[in-house]
Structure 1
Amino acid sequence: MALEEMRAILEGLLKRLASSLSGSDLGEVLDHLVWLTDDNGHDIFEVCREWLESGERRKVEAGLGLSEAFLYNDRETYERVLLPIAARWPDLAGQVQEKLDVFNRQFPNGSVPSPRRPS
């Protein structure tokens, strides 16, 4: 499946999400879908990165709701993308801070280590 197909599927799910639910509710579903796709969620992660930078509240909520992966490889990128979200929507600041805290605890040096090559 191409990225464009996954984007269309996820956009469709977001559009059909019950109005009483937030985008973060879709994020929980995406966590499950990651494990079911033939690319281990690669395209889902790419769409979520796009959504976090989209400026659209429900898309941003869905991207923040994903917890099964780190969408970025370094603290600088996380901060560049997430801090403006917290500034624009103060009620999402807690989720933003939690994402940053989890990343910082997992990677205190500020970046995801590169995979080691077998020797």
Structure 2
Amino acid sequence: MNIAEVMAFLLDRSVVGLPAASLADVFDRLIWCMDDNGREIESFKFEWLFSDDRRKVEVALYMSETFHFDNVAAFENCFERIINVWPDLEPKCIEVLNSWKFERD
């Protein structure tokens, strides 16, 4: 079983009502356990941000061990799409972007 299958399995089998932040925390912890320093998890997190599956997007947004993008334009483009589809996720998108900006200052 590869990491994509593990992540999908955990997502599919998570308890109904489990907050996205809780599952994101599991994935963030796995980053530190992997021999590739979480690069593969990071790749799927990035993929999930562009998913049409709200749950995947939410979990990816709540992952906090690595940043989603390298520049503000990439953040804004992705988050604009997310906000257009799920306006209620705007506060989390703004929080993530502001956190990134703070780390860069």
Taking structure 2 as the reference length, what is the TM-score of the superposition?
0.91
* Segments ≥4 residues shifted beyond 3 Å: none
TM-superposed deviation, 1:71: 2.1
Of residues 48, 62, 66, the one that matches 1:65 is 62
- Tell me how far apart the structure 2 counterparts of residues 44 and 71 of structure 1 sit (CA, whole Å): 12
RMSD: 1.5
Query: Is this contact kept in 2: 1:22–1:58, CA < 8 A?
Result: no
- Tell me how far apart the structure 2 counterparts of residues 34 and 20 of structure 1 sit (CA, whole Å): 24
2:49: which partner in 1?
Answer: 52
Which AA in structure 2 matches 1:52?
A: L
Taking structure 1 as the reference length, what is the TM-score of the superposition?
0.81
- Tell me how far apart the structure 2 counterparts of residues 28 and 69 of structure 1 sit (CA, whole Å): 12
1:19: which partner in 2?
Answer: 16
TM-superposed deviation, 1:87: 2.3
Flag structure 1 segments of 5+ consecutive residues without an equivalent: 109-119
Matches within 5 A, 1:40-119: 40-108=37-105
Task: State which drifts further: 84-93 or 49-58.
Answer: 84-93
Number of equivalences: 105
Task: State which drifts further: 85-94 or 60-69.
Answer: 85-94
Which AA in structure 2 matches 1:105?
A: F
Larger radius of gyration: 1
Flag structure 2 segments of 5+ consecutive residues without an equivalent: none
Which AA in structure 2 matches 1:18?
A: V
